[in-house]
Structure 1
């Protein structure tokens, strides 16, 4: 009889006017399930597009793609853990949860906290390594280069420390999910608020860095706006991260943890999704060009009011390996951009999968292709060099 009574004890004394309800309590589970399904679907589609574009269209899987895959797998695991915890009581008020179920919920929360730190680093790294490749193609060490590398260092340092902090948050470790064991723990609520604040700080840095670089280019305003729109999606992620921080603050003083953590978890899923989408956005234009059958440039796309005759001929035969060098030469003459405080040329392809920047660069701004050559690389490679290894926008092999 005593055991039966114990099983009916709530995990928290209900506030005045409330009675524990273990059968049909108020719950946030429908919201959790809906948000999880939408976010997991969007992420999976976005990463599939990114990987397909890089592996089969551009044929250049890089380290950032593998980070994106790892992050996506980690997010799917985290979402599954969160859904299961929601089913078992996380979506309820703590006074609607049986005391005997708290240990299991605490363990699931423990695993989710560790998974969150590792996964968030992979998601951030997938974006930062992508930005480094796009914006730091030359040998210069400008402010953009240092900003990106500082963000990489801060991300690695924080998420590594956060992983160990959450793993060893209690001593002994078993006290993390069993409050009846003697020992001591850190203030996990404070650590959760700090995690949200750091995520917001890094998201702002990831947003500002490419936009700052773009707006210092000597390009027409229309092109700046178009390229900024690709990277400016990060504004949504920053807004989501800010909302997530706001939902974390009540954890510092409100004991209704299951209800509050569920709200935080919902916004964490949305933030995960936004972070993955930001990293995948630069691949979307090239993928949709591929769907429209614009993998190879045509003579009509090269022949404009300012087209050079040799450029048209190069476009017409660009699919032939023997014509690649002539094609590049024609495009360099047609689309050279000079600018920057040092007189270096900076180029970009606006309508392709990604934007390319680099010192002494020449770029084609035509119908879905960008071909960039540096002065040094052109000399080293010669007229017949193959640039497929170093330019994500070079002609397909």
Structure 2
């Protein structure tokens, strides 16, 4: 009797043979990233929490947002690991259609988680800027921060909803053979990526205006900017 080879989810390119037994995978690299991210995130979060609770003896909206962002980061690592455990990070010609559906499901869950986590993290940073650099409420700088908070909240809420209902019916996200309709996933990811890049630079540059108007030496101004750029805050 002959053993039939599994059918790949995608035909391999010319000159390439499907490898179901020992496929190329990004799981190892993903595990390294998670192994670095979780300890560092945890250390810095608890140092900040210790400073705010036992030294500053205060806990504000900004701190609640930071707490949610921390849980979001840990959850994102978890869903990222789940993607890899369900055949993610492999070439589609090295997995079967059933495995591809599993990978698509967890990738969708992870992408939904990502939007929520990154949105809360950015809003937490902006709320920190508001406390540190905007002592006068509803000044021009304060209004700019509030404006970006609203923009971030609206964007990540809308993209999260779009990712949840990427296809109608929703099961079509994981099984393209089901009749229905879908939005363009590449377009959604490209728009999200562009928005993330632009807002990252804006958030990094926002303190420059406030710091450079302070009465201190250029060296001290540069140190303050670097402190906020690398997230060393209390």
Let me know the Cα RMSD of the aligned residues.
1.6
Residue deviations 1:297-341 (CA, integer Å, cap 9, x gap): xxxxxxxxxxxxxxxxxxxxxxxxxxxxxxxxxxxxxxxxxxxxx
What residue is the counterpart of 1:231 in the other structure? 228
The alpha carbon displacement at 1:19 in A equals: 0.7
3-state DSSP of counterpart to 1:89: coil
Q: What does residue range 195-210 of structure 1 map to in structure 2 within 5 Å? A: 195-210=192-207
Counterpart among 54, 75, 82 of residue 80 in structure 2: 82
Counterpart CA distance in 1 for 2:111 and 2:33 is 19
The alpha carbon displacement at 1:193 in A equals: 1.3
What residue is the counterpart of 2:119 in the other structure? 121
The alpha carbon displacement at 1:218 in A equals: 2.5
Counterpart among 63, 66, 72 of residue 64 in structure 2: 66
Residue deviations 1:60-96 (CA, integer Å, cap 9, x gap): 1111111111111122112111112213321211111
Counterpart CA distance in 1 for 2:85 and 2:134 is 46
What residue is the counterpart of 1:177 in the other structure? 174
The alpha carbon displacement at 1:138 in A equals: 2.3
The alpha carbon displacement at 1:220 in A equals: 1.6
Counterpart CA distance in 2 for 1:88 and 1:141 is 50
Q: TM-score, normalised by structure 1?
A: 0.56
Counterpart CA distance in 1 for 2:130 and 2:20 is 52
The alpha carbon displacement at 1:140 in A equals: 5.5
The alpha carbon displacement at 1:139 in A equals: 4.0
Counterpart CA distance in 1 for 2:154 and 2:58 is 29
Structure with higher helix content: 2
Counterpart CA distance in 1 for 2:165 and 2:86 is 25
Counterpart CA distance in 2 for 1:178 and 1:25 is 22
Q: What does residue range 1-397 of structure 1 map to in structure 2 within 5 Å? A: 5=4, 8-139=6-137, 141-142=139-140, 144-233=141-230, 278=231, 281-283=232-234
Counterpart CA distance in 1 for 2:150 and 2:29 is 36
Counterpart CA distance in 2 for 1:140 and 1:172 is 45
Counterpart CA distance in 2 for 1:60 and 1:164 is 34
Is contact 2:88–2:107 with CA below 8 Å preserved after alignment? Answer: no
3-state DSSP of counterpart to 2:65: helix
Counterpart CA distance in 2 for 1:140 and 1:120 is 26
Larger RCO (alpha carbons 8 Å, 6+ apart): 2
**Larger Rg, first or second structure (1 or 2):** 1
Counterpart CA distance in 2 for 1:165 and 1:80 is 22
Counterpart CA distance in 1 for 2:137 and 2:26 is 52
Structure 2 residue ranges without an equivalent (≥5): none
3-state DSSP of counterpart to 1:34: helix
3-state DSSP of counterpart to 1:223: helix
Counterpart CA distance in 2 for 1:203 and 1:146 is 18
Is contact 1:151–1:205 with CA below 8 Å preserved after alignment? Answer: no
Counterpart CA distance in 2 for 1:73 and 1:193 is 26
Counterpart CA distance in 1 for 2:35 and 2:190 is 26
Is contact 1:211–1:231 with CA below 8 Å preserved after alignment? Answer: no
Is contact 2:87–2:102 with CA below 8 Å preserved after alignment? Answer: no
**Where does structure 1 differ by over 2 angstroms across 4 or more consecutive aligned residues?**
none
3-state DSSP of counterpart to 1:133: helix
Counterpart CA distance in 2 for 1:102 and 1:25 is 14
Q: TM-score, normalised by structure 2?
A: 0.94
